[in-house]
Amino acid sequence: MKELHQSISNISDDKVDELLEHFCGDQHSELLNIARNHFETLDIDTGLVYHFKDMYDFMLFKPLCPAALNALLDVYKDFPLPRDVSVMFLSNRQLNAYNFEEILFQQMLKHSDILLKAMGLAGKPTTDMHIKFEHFIFLDKDQLASNSQHSKFLIRGYECYPQFDFIIGYIFIQVSISSFVQYNKGFTNISKAFKRYHKDGSDLRNQIEIYLNTVFGDQQLSMQLCS
């Protein structure tokens, strides 16, 4: 989202007004007035985003409303990624996992109905993976799961979200440009997703069970892991 904020900051005020008016119609002025009054201790950026520091002194950027998020994402879909995130750097072995994740994220936003060829850990073809979603949200810091209204959304985890980078329905996606053996360490270790999430014994469920129960209820669902 850092690249997104840098991109938006370069858009003229007239263009921002045009975008917001398109998505919020006649409620544009009223929306901004309410936002400025409600977030009087916060900073409003571009008329679409406000930012503030959380309890950990971590800077957070939030859209003013779902329509504002739609406007931002529409700009981000077509905005060129910075040169250091360019896919051409992959051939020079200078593309890191975070930059590759940004490329994948932008492409998924552009093409929200995708069929990916898949291979198992042994390198042999397996069942193709169908990725289809209606919208996108970003999990807040320390938020483990979204809620039931986001069951068909593309969910992106925050930096250091345990084990996974994206979740769509019951598909859990881990992004890496290294081998699975090299990447499967620390907070990215897949096996941790199947162990009790709360070490104090207050909840016997693992991370995946908590997520699926929160989003889909107690119904039994199969899941798909992708790395």
Whether residues 129 and 176 share a domain: the answer is yes
What's the start-to-end Cα distance of the chain, in Å?
22
The mean per-residue pLDDT over the stretch 203-222 comes to 81
Domain end among 28, 45, 79? 79
- Residue 155's pLDDT band, with cuts at 50, 70 and 90, is very high
Q: Is 49 exposed, middle or buried (0-12, 13-18, 19+ CB in 10 A)?
A: buried
Phi first, then psi: give them for residue 212, nearest 5 degrees: -65, -40
pLDDT confidence of residue 33: 54
Is the pLDDT reported for residue 186 higher than 70?
yes
Tell me whether strands 153-156 and 135-138 are parallel, antiparallel or unpaired: parallel
Is the pLDDT reported for residue 222 higher than 60?
no
Whether residues 120 and 226 share a domain: the answer is yes
Structurally, the chain folds into a number of domains equal to: 2
The mean per-residue pLDDT over the stretch 100-106 comes to 85
Any idea of the CA torsion for 19, 23, 28, 31, to the nearest 10 degrees?
-120
pLDDT tens-digit profile of 15-63?
A: 444 544 454 444 545 555 554 454 444 455 556 777 777 777 877 778 8
The mean per-residue pLDDT over the stretch 194-205 comes to 86
Domain end among 64, 79, 94? 79
Would 88 be classed as within a structural domain?
A: no
Is the pLDDT reported for residue 187 higher than 50?
yes
Whether residues 53 and 8 share a domain: the answer is yes
3-class state of residue 165 by DSSP = coil
d(CA 207, CA 164): 10
Question: Which residue, among 162, 175, 158, has the nearest Cα to 101 in the 3D structure?
Answer: 175
Would 96 be classed as within a structural domain?
A: no
What is the residue range of 219's domain? 102-227
Strand partners, 119: 125
Whether residues 68 and 117 share a domain: the answer is no
- Residue 166's pLDDT band, with cuts at 50, 70 and 90, is very high
Strand partners, 138: 156
User: Do residues 215 and 150 touch, judged by C-beta distance below 8 A?
Assistant: yes
Is the pLDDT reported for residue 144 higher than 60?
yes
Give the global pTM.
0.67
Is the pLDDT reported for residue 74 higher than 80?
yes
Would 42 be classed as within a structural domain?
A: yes
Q: Alpha helix locations (H) across 39-137? A: 66-78, 97-110
